[in-house]
Amino acid sequence: MDEVELDIHGLGILLYSAPAVADIPDGADYLKDHFWQPADVARHVMECRLTTFATGSPGSFRLRFWHGAPDESAVRAAAFKLRLGLRVEEGAVCVRDLYDLMEWSADCPPRQRVPAPDGWYRLTVCSSPPPSGIIGDGQVIDITMERVSRRPDLRWEGVPTLYE
Where are the chain's structural domains? 2-148
Q: Over the stretch 64-94, which tens digit does the pLDDT of each residue have? A: 999 999 999 999 999 999 999 999 999 999 9
Task: Dump pLDDT digits (tens) for 13-61.
Answer: 999 999 999 999 999 999 999 999 999 999 999 999 999 999 989 999 9
Distances (CA, A) of 50 to 45, 67, 77, 79: 6, 19, 28, 25
From residue 60, give the alpha-carbon distance in Å to each of 17, 20, 33, 36, 139: 22, 25, 27, 23, 6
User: What CATH architecture is 2-148?
Assistant: Sandwich (2.60)
Confirm whether pTM is higher than 0.75: yes
